[in-house]
Structure 1
Amino acid sequence: MHSTKHISSAQNPLIKKALLLKEKSRERKKTGLFLLEGMRELQIANRAQYEIATIFYCENILVDAQNNTFLQSFSADKLISVSNDVYKKIAHRDTTEGIIAIAKSKDHNLSLLKFEGSNPLVLIAEAPEKPGNIGALLRTADAANLDAVLIANPKTDLYNPNIIRSSVGCIFSRNVRMGSTEEIIEFLKKGGFQIYCAALSASKDYTTVEFNGPTAIVVGTENSGLSEDWLNNSTQNIIIPMEGEIDSMNVSVSAAILIFEAKRQRKLNT
């Protein structure tokens, strides 16, 4: 490895900075930087043209020659080897690959959203709070190759380490934008989107509606569902019929069912 620096003390200023980025949303927002962990996550972020500022690696853990080759594609001044103790200090995961990087966050403002095609399919999540759910939604969006994921009234820092971990790096591969519910509704209306809201009231079975034009699938939290603003502006509320004792599923599971029904219909019409 062609790094020129080694850190063996957790008191090193750069290590202290990495710890703050891992633990404090305020620090991530103030600096515009975040911590990502894992070779796959780093590779996805790199392909998505995230600016990588620093890469920490632990040679005792990093054993794959292919991984070494990838790291050598970065300039030497960005590569810093660290001791086992230092690595364990800044690592977020119990199982790890010996790679942690500091990267620069992107601007996720809704005003920057543009679509490559003329018939976009997007997922909207209103006020999601649980990092695990957000990560799972992003993984589904990646699996379905959605045109965008819009987060309305965000309550959680997008670069929370738990979101990065649970999304398996899909936070970097997807076109993620954020805005208020009002801003997103206005954006969708201007774009001629059908707005399908997952809701219990005044709903149709999701298999009976058409998802073939520009379409937004909107999901809310499991506790409170969607706000009145969404329900009042919905093209049609849709529901997944429940055949058991409960009347709802995990939001990421529900979103996956709706998204892949939309994908199925669109394939039939191509």
Structure 2
Amino acid sequence: MKEITSAQNSLIRQLVQLKDKSRERKKTGTFLIEGIREVTLAIKGGYEVETVLFYPDLFPAESLDGLIPETVNPIAVSKDVYEKLAYRSTTEGLLAVAKAKENKLSNLRFKNDNPLILVAEAPEKPGNIGAILRTADAAHVDAVIIANPKTDLYNPNIIRSSVGCVFTNQIATGTTTEIITFLKTNKINIYSAILQESVAYHTQDYTKPTAIVVGTEATGLSDEWRNHATKNIIIPMQGEIDSMNVSVAAGILIFEAKRQRKFS
């Protein structure tokens, strides 16, 4: 079994770049995964793992049996090397390099003709994106679509904050215009969460093909969504403010749709 003990090793230097720089992830088409659950979910989600590294004091070599593909030769690393690559302060001793998927709208496949989709326009904070993906996983939506993404999906902060749900959801990205065209072409109703010209969210029927669309707390959704919505919807607010965290809003709306669908 190969072992790397120097943080100056060329592979390790490359992986540090992969961890820290979106540009490197896009150039190589690969990204770094940290954690047992995250690596397991990535493999289960059909991601191709190229390299596995582990720190034996935290993750014994025998624990790899049955966890990673037999075609992957694991690499043992020293404490210094692992700490150079690890993103979290509390960690489990396991890292993997995987190939990114092409998150194209044209790649989306629905299991039936009545999909439930969550769309988020221009989310900026990785923590919010991770929370949205956790909500989508919990509700088992058919797809998550990110409009006008501000960061790449394989940012370590997104992987961490989503607790691996970036691998459990079917995800696509595109511009707002591309996504609206895709939804209308596939006869999917658009419910845009927006303040203007809106009705209370619980008055609408989400049992037909549905896309729930949410925007950022700071700017909300663009006018394009308001103009092309089947209906603009609002969560009635009873406090002093007129907005809430985007992942919380997404959860309220998506689970109302699931309730109407009898959680099917």
Task: Establish whether TM, by shorter chain, passes 0.5.
Answer: yes
CA distance in 1, matches of 2:131, 2:72: 35
Match of 1:186 in 2: 181
1:158 partner SS:
coil
The one-letter code matched in structure 1 to 2:252 is I
The one-letter code matched in structure 2 to 1:14 is L
The one-letter code matched in structure 1 to 2:131 is A
The one-letter code matched in structure 2 to 1:142 is D
1:252 partner SS:
helix
What percentage of residue pairs aligned between the two structures are identical? Answer: 59
The one-letter code matched in structure 1 to 2:236 is P
CA distance in 2, matches of 1:122, 1:170: 15
Question: Is residue 49–residue 72 contact of structure 2 (8 Å, CA) maintained in 1?
Answer: no
The one-letter code matched in structure 2 to 1:163 is I
Task: Select the residue among 149, 154, 178 that pairs with 1:159.
Answer: 154
Deviation, 1:101, is 0.7
Match of 2:99 in 1: 104
Deviation, 1:130, is 0.6
Quote the RMSD (CA, aligned, Å). Answer: 1.4
Deviation, 1:70, is 3.4
CA distance in 1, matches of 2:230, 2:105: 21
Runs of 4+ in 1 over 6 A off after TM superposition: none
Match of 2:64 in 1: 68
Task: Select the residue among 102, 105, 109 that pairs with 1:114.
Answer: 109
Which runs of 5 or more residues in structure 2 are unaligned? Answer: none
Task: Select the residue among 235, 243, 255 that pairs with 1:248.
Answer: 243
Q: Verify: 1:225 aligned to 2:209, yes or no.
A: no
What is the correspondence of 1:105-144 to structure 2 with a 5 Å cutoff? Answer: 105-144=100-139
1:100 partner SS:
strand
Task: Select the residue among 143, 150, 156 that pairs with 1:148.
Answer: 143
Question: Is residue 50–residue 72 contact of structure 2 (8 Å, CA) maintained in 1?
Answer: no
Q: Verify: 1:47 aligned to 2:44, yes or no.
A: yes
CA distance in 2, matches of 1:45, 1:227: 33
The one-letter code matched in structure 2 to 1:193 is I
Q: Which is worse superposed, 238-247 or 33-42? A: 238-247
Deviation, 1:244, is 1.2
The one-letter code matched in structure 2 to 1:214 is P
The one-letter code matched in structure 2 to 1:45 is A
What is the TM-score with the length of structure 1 in the denominator?
A: 0.95
CA distance in 1, matches of 2:102, 2:257: 28
Question: Is residue 52–residue 72 contact of structure 2 (8 Å, CA) maintained in 1?
Answer: no
Deviation, 1:113, is 1.4
What is the TM-score with the length of structure 2 in the denominator?
A: 0.97
Q: 1:91-127: per-residue Cα shift (whole Å, max 9, x none)?
A: 0000100001111101001121121111000000011
CA distance in 2, matches of 1:68, 1:155: 35
